[in-house]
Structure 1
């Protein structure tokens, strides 16, 4: 089971804080550092010090880390044109020596779009599908050849399809709870499928839909990596769990029901239940980015027990 640290910087974190967490992620043996792609705090508060751009952040971290994978969960297709995003991700991949992964979604948080003047079209899923076709098409075009695309939303003419990523294929992540279109899109374009904040029952159902969609499209279902993202709150004692839950404004009972919360033993058991459904990767949503002791505890008492 890969354990990855997943952050939500829009809730209040500057680049220096993210760099500290990313370095701790690397030093403590976690597999990757991922971040959300949002421009507005959720749930009230002043949002200070303000948002950081996902791909600018990852570019900086690419030069400051050596081993961990870096990526987004998920970048919003509404924020960037597909050709621009293909260039950005390819460049950061080269800056990192081939450690980037692209999580891409349709975008959903209308309020942040209004706050920063970003269009929020109704046909976001159709745009996402075209973006995936464009980005993977650009990266997959042989050097010296050109790429063209004509869709309803995006058109490319005689693109040199440069730069190329460092990796021969940048892993693409798709996720969500949609019953039909999301599994079909994952089966066609994804290297990994992620169920965000889903119960065991939700996960089993959605993994099954993706496997069926892959097989229906002539692709072995086992080619995809299956993963979950869950809010995480671990403590050595009940009091420590309660303190960490209070620090992020959550209830312990709710966290235990819907996330990874409790003692290291409880969390290891919970992760094992997701693994039994086919998950081989877990994104640990860490909401208090100043509590590095939390990461150390998870590394020694959870990661260490998972092998």
Structure 2
């Protein structure tokens, strides 16, 4: 296995100028750029492909619907694993989602990864007429029942389920997913006890949103403790990170890029679609407050020359991180994506030999 698995987060929305949120160099959502980026990521050897799951996001709210996009991109690729980033459990009835997952996994020859989430944007749900449960503990319980139901359906046997949230009668879900037990289940963050319980009892993979090394170490300790409390060996839970990535040749390149972000920030005013996002991001990193300094971005994200980025990836690895999902801050430029694959990864591999 590679020293560090790398995922490519497809930029299916644009947020120009906001250096601390995902796509600061992407001025406007562009189909050709997204597809070209995905194909380049596969050519470069990235291990996985990820798509966000939102109804509106970015400066102008324009985002592609996640499931449709992932199914389309599955046909544009042949090797990368495929997953949604925080598949919103409230956006699709769980029995239907189980069928959709089985279908995409079957058609992609077992490449699907189920990264599921209780959801957090009440505004987004109610805007589209989806039911919204304000109690996060109840939303977590709904995800748990959804996972139990999905796994029963993936057996291929007629399934009847009478639960607190879902009722089905003799449902048949064939063809089933390729893997015997279905796709690996990813669950993100470590906000509260219900989420930690869900992770410890149902997740194959845990994922953190962007965080500095100290904050990330604290999160991993909470997750490991939750596993141990429930009799699970923490080593059986894979640990992963989703973060922003910017790789450049030298300090002059860094100044040019950050000047570009500043210029875009002035050019594009904030829109209605992002007013609730900043507060949620702060939940994962409580120290965030007000205008972000350059130092805080360097601390939280994966930014630097190839040597500097390689050193931080080694530090992540020492914490137990096995895969990093990358949002490339210079996209639609491919420089960071290529430097990470062609200059950083070989350094990590050499260090293992």
> TM-score with structure 2 length normalisation?
0.78
My pick for the range that moved more, 209-218 or 269-278, is 209-218
**Are 2:117 and 2:143, in contact at CA under 8 Å, matched by a contact in 1?**
no
In the alignment, which of 262, 266, 282 is matched to residue 324 of structure 2?
282
Gaps of 5+ in 2: 15-27, 263-291
Q: Which residue of 1 aligns with 2:81?
A: 69
Q: Which residue of 2 aligns with 1:97?
A: 109
Q: Which residue of 1 aligns with 2:271?
A: none
User: Deviations 1:28-48 (Å, cap 9, x if unpaired)?
Assistant: 011111121112124xx334x
Q: Which residue of 2 aligns with 1:153?
A: 165
Q: Distance in 2 between matches of 1:144 and 1:205?
A: 40
Map 1:1-307 onto structure 2 (within 5 A): 1-11=4-14, 12-42=28-58, 45-47=59-61, 50-141=62-153, 143=155, 145-168=157-180, 169-248=182-261, 252-307=294-349
Describe the SS at the equivalent of 2:106.
Answer: helix
> TM-score with structure 1 length normalisation?
0.89
Gaps of 5+ in 1: none
User: Deviations 1:272-294 (Å, cap 9, x if unpaired)?
Assistant: 11211111111112244311222
Q: Which has the higher contact order (CA 8 A, sep 6+)?
A: 2
Q: Distance in 1 between matches of 2:156 and 2:77?
A: 32
**Are 1:72 and 1:103, in contact at CA under 8 Å, matched by a contact in 2?**
yes
Q: 1:289 to 1:145 in 2, by over 3 A?
A: same
**Are 2:190 and 2:222, in contact at CA under 8 Å, matched by a contact in 1?**
no
Structure 1 residue 219, shift from structure 2 partner = 2.5
Q: Distance in 1 between matches of 2:36 and 2:236?
A: 34
Structure 1 residue 225, shift from structure 2 partner = 0.8
Aligned length: 303
User: Deviations 1:10-30 (Å, cap 9, x if unpaired)?
Assistant: 335344332211111110011
